[in-house]
Every structure is written in structure tokens, then in C-alpha cells.
Structure 1
Amino acid sequence: MPIPVIADVDTGVDDALALLFLAAHPDIDLRAVTCVAGNASLAQVAQNTLDVLAVAGCEAPVACGVDRPLIEPARDAGSYHGANGIGNLALEPSPRQPEPEHAVELLRREIDASPEPVTLLSLAPLTNIALFLRLYPQTAAKLERIVVMGGTASAGNASAVAEFNVWHDPEAAQIVLTSDVPTTLYPLDVFNRVVATDEQITQLKDAATPHARLAAALLDYQLTLADLPADIASGAKLGDAGAAAFLVASEHFGVETWPVGVELSHGYARGQTVVDRRLRSGEAEEHGLMAPTVRSEVALTVDGPAVAASFINTVCGA
């Protein structure tokens, strides 16, 4: 039976790649998509999402959620994802409109209506999901798990130590990571190591389907941003699409369970995810200076070529 999935997105370039994969994979049942401000404004995210799903031939309901973080103003990533969030590509506007209900209400409705537990895939700042957990804890308890593309156990991208989705709304991330719902973190440590080669992009172009052509155009845009250090795989990053692939190809990842906390203070480290990989507690705990943190699964290693091949094969076969 396909895995029932709801995706929460801030559709930029790699969210678009993830949506193409989710809509195409035979073992994934994309039940709904909820939108939040992040890579672009909420209105732009919703339009991007509908337009990409139209290319994918997917009629999953789409709902708009929150247009800013819980506390701070929205800060987009237009300098990375382009003025329209999807690499300045001009897609045919979808005739569909977002659902009239709020994203949090769509989450509640879809999860309550599902006869089997739903996996919630977060590819965006966690504001919608945090509000859902607070408003509807009994519904949230029915989830299979939450898979979060966010955080880092090493270097950041939005700041030296913080990944964008968590940095955008650290308080929301802390709510999600300390909830009772089983959570798996897909951090930058693996995000940066799943890339498509020039040959794979050519394979997408040769497939000559709307799905594949759009994926190729998005990956061509990703190539213009390739400025990674030498110790990280070079090529066009699949980004959020790797987190989508994790749902059906987890055997290609090394997952460990560690306490994970979020730095909420304002300053240099705001939004940092602290993955505590110590084998024993230290003096900070002994002297009562640190609150206990909740343990989460964290993907720390990946067979990047295998995951990239899964993505290419899925989109080419759509």
C-alpha cells in the first residue's frame, strides 16, 4: 500500500523537485499539500505549488497557512531561489485555486479522515506544523511520524550554524522537535550530498515529458548556484527532493537517534539545531544548567548517488 503523505512546503526550487517526485512515485500517496511563507511569500508559494502540481498532473488539495513566523517577520530566500521562488521559471498558471480552509484545518481534516496513519513531510519553516500540534494534539497523535527537512549537525546556510527552515522560525521548530510525535530530521549534513550529475540532467531532458523537462530546468538553475566546498559532492543539489526520497529509500541513509534542541536566543547562534552526540552528560547537566532535550532520529550519512538515481528514475518514469 502506498505511504499516505501530506507535504508542508514553501515552494522554492527544491520543493518543486520534491513535489514532482512525490506526485510520481508509485509508493507514495500524496494526500494534500500545505503552504507556508519561507523561500517566498505565502501567495507566491501557493501559486508555485499549484503550478508545479499541474505539471505533475496531481490534483491533491492545496491550502495556505501562515504568512510569517510565530514571533519574527518573514524573511524570504529570493537571493537563492530567484524572485519568484522557482529560479525565475515561467510556468503555465494553474487553473486551480487553494482550498478555502486554512492549512492547519486541512491537516486536521486529512489526518482524521485517513484510515491509516499519515506521514507529515515538512520541507519548509515549521510554523504551520507547530500551530497544528498545539491546536489539535489528539489528531497529531494519529500521525505515523513527521519527517523534517531542517537543521544541521555541522555548518549552516542561513547563518554559520543555522539551516534556513529552522532559522526562519526557531520557536516553531522547537515545538515540533519537543512534541510527542516521532520525528526524523533530514539535516544539511545529508541535504548537501545528494546531487544530480550532468548526465542525469541530460537523461531528464531526453525523457521529454512535462515532469522531466521541469525537473531538468530546475536542476539547471541549481547548477548556477553550485558553490559548495570541495568536501561536498559537486553537482545540482536535489535538496528537499532528497527528503522526499527518504520516505521510500531510507536504506540509503545512516540514521542515528540523539537529543536535539534548538537555540532560541537572539544572536549569533539563533536557530542552531544542537545534536547532542555525547555518550554521557556533562557538567552543564550535573549543575542543572541544561534542560533535558527530546531524542529524534537524525539522518547523518547518505549514499548520494543511489538517492539521486531513485529521483531520476522516478521522474523519468512518471
Structure 2
Amino acid sequence: MLAAGDPAVELLAITTVAGNQTLEKTTLNARRICAAAGIAGVPLAAGCARPLVEPLVVADDVHGKTGLDGPRFGEPAVEAVPEHAVELLRRVLTGHPEPVTLVPTAPLTNVALLLTRYPEVVPHIREIVLMGGSTERGNRTPAAEFNVHVDPEAADIVFRSGVPVTMCGLNVTHQALATPEVLARFEALDTELGSLCVELMSFYASSYRRLWGFASPPVHDPVAVARVIDPAIVRCAEASVAVELRGRYTRGATVVDPYGYLDRPVNALVAMELDAERFWDRMVAAVGALGRRGAEGARTGTA
């Protein structure tokens, strides 16, 4: 919704992957959000149904059985295109007149497959700004953040690809807290979409209180989008980032080395600090714009 509703970026495509739920469910959820937010004319494609090496592990303890528990959704009118997400990405990248930024907010399986199967797309990628990893502790294991933990081999491919990478990990997304004051701002939009956002974040809040003791839940994925919209919202530092693939207790951890202890070259920008006020201003404005657009379409009978 942030990418579709903020005028600073052009949303070229939406892709799904197995992650917090199965591919079937994440694709349905993407269709549901597009329908609810009035996002039309943007191709949506399903991608990989499992990680590169290990079986899929979902996060139904956090996001519920649907992967998007909380609101009740009707049957979405938005359909996915028949091509695989990797093929859609290749087509969009090579067909666009300028390099494109990829913003993966899930396991990196699709992106890793794109880079290994079609290395010729690399010059067409401006950067990869991802939500995943952490400079500190994890949220799936003590050391590993969920998106990287689900498919660490894919994350390793992305970080070693040579493409500019910005990592927005838990250390910065935990600064994007959906406090009661934030929820009140979405409710004050007085739109169906604003109320939907409150329902989504309220369900998520109950999970975070139960599992991690957070008074207010962090919203992770929009932080990566915000970094693309306005880099000043997310302050970053250069570092070497390696993905642990073999550790008995640390598999999937992102080893962030800003001081050069490991004598590895810098391969990423790592998000460190969030301007939360500016972040929420852009979020509320984007949802407000989509909500007004949807209300106008309902009045005029257009989509």
C-alpha cells in the first residue's frame, strides 16, 4: 500500500513467494490487499513455493492461519498473471528504460533464482532494498530473523551477488511501532482502507504481545519501501554482511561486520536508525490517498 499510494515511486509489479504462509495463501493475500486498496494495472505473479534447499516453515503463530488474519476479506477481484514471478521480474527489468529497484519483503527465493538463472538482468537492477536480517538478535531463532532463516541459501546468493543491497533488519524495523496514537491516525482517515489497516495491526499487536511482550507491534516491511521513497527516513551504515549457513544454533543469522573484523569487503548498506515521525507521515498519507481514490471510484463507478 505504501508503494502504491506514495507519489515518489512507481509500482511496476508485485510478486509473491512462500514465506509467512504457503505460496497459495500469500498470493491470495496479495490479491486481497490489491482489491481492498484499489491497486489496479499492476501485474501480480506467484513465484517459488518452497525455499531453495529446506522445507518451508511458515509463521502461522504470528500471522495466523491465513497469513493475514484479522479482517474479513471477500473474494478478491484482482487476479494473478499466469507467468512465474521470476519471469515477470525478468520481463519488467529488461523492458524498463531505467534500472529498477527491487524491494523484497519476504524470503529471497525469487530474487536468488532470478540472479542465478538470468545474470543478464543485473545491470537492470539499481539496487535491492530488502526487509530481513538483523544486526542484533533474531525473531525466529535467537540469532536469525524469519525471512533470512526460511531461505538462508537464497539470502547468501543475494548478498554475494555484487548488486547494491540495503538491509532493513529487525534492529531498525523495531523502531516502527504501531502505537495507539498511530492507529488513531489511520482511524481518523475515516475510510474503509484506514479501518482495514487498524484491524491488521491490531491482530498483529496481539501476536507481538503474546510472543515477545511488545506493548505496540513493529511494522517491518514498509520500512524497506520508505527507504526507497526517501532515503533520509532510514539512516544506513556500510558493512560487510554474511549469512550463516552451517551454524547449529545460528543458521540464517546475518553477520554484520561494520568494523572489518572478518576482513571481508563491504557488500551492503545496513539500516540503523528510523525517523519514525516521517515514516508514519508517509504511511498515513499513502493509505489516505488510496482510500480517497477508492471512494472516488465507488462514487463514479470506476475501478
When the two structures are superposed, what TM-score results if normalisation uses the length of structure 1? 0.86
3-state DSSP of counterpart to 1:184: strand
Q: Contact 1:144/1:182 (CA < 8 Å) preserved in 2? A: yes
**2:132 and 2:148 in contact (8 A); partners too:** yes
Q: CA separation in 2, counterparts of 1:28 and 1:57?
A: 17
* Aligned partner (choices 195, 198, 204) of residue 213 of structure 1: 195
Q: Tell me, yes or no, if the aligned pair for 2:71 and 2:196 is still in contact at 8 Å.
A: no
CA RMSD of the aligned region, Å? 1.8
Amino acid in the other structure paired with 1:263: E
Residue in 1 that maps onto 2:293: none
For 1:258, the equivalent position in structure 2 comes to: 239
Choose from 8, 11, 31 the match for 2:12. 31
Give the 5 Å matches for 1:284-295.
292=264, 294-295=266-267
- Between Structure 1 and Structure 2, which shows a larger proportion of helix residues? 2
2:32 pairs, out of 33, 51, 69, with 51
Residues in 2 aligned to 1:309 and 1:25: alpha-carbon distance in whole angstroms = 11
Structure 1 residue 62 corresponds to structure 2 residue 44: yes
Matched, 1:99 2:81: yes
Aligned-pair CA distance for 1:47:
0.5
**Equivalents in 2 of 1:236, 1:159: separation in Å?**
19
2:95 counterpart letter in structure 1: A
Which amino acid counterpart does residue 182 of structure 1 have in structure 2?
A: P
Contact 1:259–1:295 (8 Å) recurs in 2: yes
Question: CA deviation digits over 1:11-45, x for unaligned, max 9?
Answer: xxxxxxxxx11111111211111110010000000
More deviation, 303-312/187-196: 303-312
Deviation at 1:88, TM superposition (A): 4.0
How far apart are residue 229 of structure 1 and its match? 7.2
* Residue 190 (structure 1) aligned to one of 172, 178, 189: 172
Counterpart mapping for 1:67-86 below 5 A: 67-86=49-68
Contact (CA 8 Å) 1:65, 1:102: kept in 2 or not? yes
| 1:75-114 Cα distance to aligned partner (Å, 9 max, x none) | 1000100110112432122123211111100000011111
| 1:163-182 superposed matches below 5 A | 163-182=145-164
Q: Which string of whole-angstrom CA distances, capped at 9 and with x for unpartnered residues, describes residues 200-241 of structure 1?
A: 2122123222321211111111221343879x8x52322112
Structure 1 gap segments, 5+ residues each: 1-19, 286-291
1:274 aligns with 2:255: yes
Secondary structure of 1:99's aligned partner = coil
- 2-structure distance, mates of 1:88, 1:65: 25
Higher strand proportion: 1
Question: Structure 2 length as normaliser, TM-score?
Answer: 0.90
Structure 2 spans left out of the alignment, 5+ residues = 291-303
Task: Note the C-alpha offset of 1:316.
Answer: 2.1
Q: List structure 1 segments (4+ residues) > 4 angstroms apart after TM superposition.
A: none
What amino acid maps onto 1:203 in structure 2? R
Would you say 1:147 and 2:129 are equivalent positions? yes
Aligned residues: 288
Q: Distance in 2 between matches of 1:184 and 1:243?
A: 8
Give the Cα separation in 2 of the matches to 1:45 and 1:229: 24
Shift of 1:180: 1.8
Name the % identity: 36
- The CA deviation at 1:57 is 0.9
1:81 is matched by which residue type in structure 2?
A: H
Question: How far 1:293 sits from its partner (Å)?
Answer: 5.3
SS in 1 for 2:272: strand
Closer/same/farther in 2, CA of residues 281 and 197 from structure 1, 3 Å limit: closer
Partner residue in 1 for 2:295: none
